[in-house]
Structure 1
Amino acid sequence: MSNGELPAALITAFAERPLQGNGAAVVALEQPASAPWMQAVAAQLRQSETAFLLPLSRLGSGDDAAGEWALRWFTPRCEVPLCGHATLASALALGHWGLLTSGASTRLHSRSGPLLVSLGQTGAGRAQLVLPSGGLEPSPLPTELAPSLGGTPLRSWRSALGYWVALLPQEFPLAGLDGDALAQDLRGELRQGLVLMQALAASDQTPTVQGLPADYQLRFLAPGLGISEDPVTGSAHALVAPWWCDQLGRERVVGWQPSPQGGGMVCDRLSSGMIRLSGSGQLLWDGRLSAGVDAGEAADWSCCRPVLG
């Protein structure tokens, strides 16, 4: 058990202004910590996700690992395999701590493989990350959800991430939806993640992200992960962005999330099939975490080791 204090920060990710976006706590570790310890910290910090960063060199990955990090994400209830907003927050936290310079890139090694992140050249608080998409498989939603959505969705899908996705007509009042109430009504597999999305018509009221008007908007509910509604969800946008690119006939789309906090991102489809998300973040607080790190036998970070060959 280590009694040292650890750098910690809270950053609101995918936020166009202060107190917008999705809060993520970021903790910089000096040695591998156990999953139960990280879960306990995440439960205390009570953000939708808490990110834990560990220098990759501490996993015995050699000199090639210099400047790269292992990354894990925990909701207040469980560990998750992928989280976009906490990855953006991690890049911004590294920049804030002087561990990643403006314009520089690094890889964060996770359960979902290596994730490339970079800080903006100009303009404080801007970063990019590259996420896998996962693909959508057409599938009808359970019929009991239809009344809450004003009828059967235009289209619906399932995904390898475990999320369900429903396309709603433009006239559906998605921004005014009571997300917490709907989350309480979700049953079965829908509780692991439900994306509700719709196209946005261009108007003076259309939200903008980094000066660009949003093409679509979505809400994300995941009570099974301990999150009634996630304010802004990078993994959900990375999942649906390719579909919107196909519909609009371009490789860049802008997504918005009209949750109570609100926020959005620019999504670029890369030739690799991965999705680059560009967004802004705001530092809310910066401090030290005083909690003895459990580095016992349960501190297994093999899930984040790079695959060689």
Structure 2
Amino acid sequence: MRIYQVDAFTDRLFTGNPAAVLVLEDWLPDDLMQAIAQENNLAASAFVNPRADGTWDLRWFSPTQELDFCGHASLATAHILFTNFGASAAIVFHTQAGQLRASKDASRYQLDIPSMPPEVIDALPPELKGMFSSAPAKVFRNFKNIFADLGSADAVCSFVPDFAAITQIDPLGLVVTGQEVESAKADFVSRCFAPSAGIPEDPVTGSTHATLVPYWAGQLGRDKLVGHQASKRGGWLTCELTNDRVLLGGNAVTYMEAEISL
């Protein structure tokens, strides 16, 4: 069986977020897909299966569990379908997170994903309070993560996570974010930690931007933004909020094609 490994939300190898992509003729058993994802040991492995109408079913697995939503592996999958499987028109994915769409122009890919507006909460979960030297400017959440606005990009970059504490808020992860200075290439930065899903720090997380984009659009008063995920590998996302959807733009490059023996 053919497997591809793609670096997503980057135009350079060894940066962005790596994902495995397997294009199937029919679904594999769930436990086998989970075992493959564990063997790959990447933040996400995507399994995509064609429908008769030309659209695709898409599922994602981390090393430890099936994921409800994964943006970077969706971008990686679109990249493989466009470059290796002759896709030319916009791609429609059916997923647990709803319908996702992917398109391609001369310079980048674009993902069309649901907007998940932030749900403001009064305070951090008690398990997390000890890891912040000062109280976050704002705290909010979506169905999957707790978000903390640390007030600045510098605070995000210097943040030191306590993985044991973050694991205690399972099944949620923690996202820290902050506004970048006016002269910077990005408008906001973020980092994402999901140790309970086998992902201590995710290099670039498309799904969190379903909430970060409406949050920062409200904070900054505009719908078109640039996000930078300030992990060690790093990645860049062009972002646009449009009605109840978020458009994420980025590049992807193939690192590896291989055969796996099952």
- Bigger drift between 72-81 and 14-23 goes to 14-23
Answer yes or no: is the 8 Å Cα contact 1:238–1:267 preserved in 2. no
Gaps of 5+ in 1: 1-5, 58-64, 207-212, 292-309
Once the two structures are TM-superposed, the CA of residue 138 in structure 1 deviates from its matched residue by 1.5
* Distance change (3 Å), C-alpha of 1:173 and 1:264: same
Counterpart contact for 1:256–1:262, Cα < 8 Å:
yes
Q: Which amino acid aligns with 2:144?
A: G
State which of 228, 233, 240 in structure 1 corresponds to 2:200.
228
- Equivalent of 1:276, from 234, 240, 247? 247
SS in 1 for 2:209: helix
Give the match's secondary structure for 2:251. Answer: strand
Partners of 1:74 and 1:80 within 8 A in 2: yes
By percentage of residues, which structure has more strand? 2
Amino acid at match of 2:66: E
Distance in structure 2 (CA, Å) of the matches to 1:71 and 1:229 = 23
- Alpha-carbon contact 1:191-1:223 (below 8 Å) kept: no
Q: 2:128 aligns with which of 123, 131, 145?
A: 145
TM-superposed CA distance for 1:186, in Å, is 1.9
Residue in structure 2 matching 1:77, options 64, 72, 77: 64
> Could you tell me which of 285, 288, 295 is aligned with 2:256?
285
Q: Cα distance, 1:172 vs. partner?
A: 4.9
Runs of 4+ in 1 over 6 A off after TM superposition: none
1:29 match: 24
Q: Deviations over 1:88-133 (max 9, x none)?
A: 00000111213313xx20101111122111122x13xx21111112
Aligned residue runs from structure 1 range 159-170, under 5 A? 159=142, 161-170=143-152
Instruction: Describe the shift of the 1:171–1:38 C-alpha distance in structure 2 as closer, same or farther (beyond 3 A).
Output: closer
1:163-204 Cα deviation digits (max 9, x unpaired): 11111022753213344xx2233243266211100000033x
- Does residue 256 (structure 1) correspond to residue 238 (structure 2)? The answer is no
1:142 Cα offset (Å): 2.4
Give 1:214 deviation, angstroms.
0.7
- CA gap of 1:183–1:95, structure 2 versus 1, over 3 A, is same
Of residues 70, 94, 117, the one that matches 2:102 is 117
Deviations 1:229-276 (A, max 9, x none): 1110001112110111122221111111110100020111113x1101
Work out the CA distance in 1 between the residues paired with 2:32 and 2:192: 27
Distance 1:191 1:76 in 2: 15
Percentage of pairs with the same residue: 33
Q: CA shift at 1:145, angstroms? A: 2.7
Identify if the C-alpha distance between structure 1 residues 232 and 37 changes in structure 2 by more than 3 Å, giving closer, same or farther.
same
Choose the corresponding residue for 2:78, options 91, 102, 126: 91
Q: Spell out the pairing of 1:1-309 with structure 2 (5 A cutoff).
A: 6-57=1-52, 65-66=53-54, 68-101=55-88, 104-120=89-105, 122-123=106-107, 126-139=108-121, 140-159=123-142, 161-170=143-152, 172-179=154-161, 182-189=162-169, 192-203=172-183, 206=184, 213-271=185-243, 273-291=244-262
Structure 2 residue runs of 5 or longer lacking an equivalent are none
Separation (CA, whole Å) in 1 of partners of 2:17 and 2:225: 20
Is contact 2:137-2:149 (8 Å) kept?
yes
Bigger RCO (CA 8 Å, 6+ sep):
1
TM-score by length of 1: 0.80
Residues 225, 154 of structure 1: CA spacing in aligned structure 2 closer, same or farther, 3 A cutoff?
same
Q: CA RMSD in A?
A: 1.6
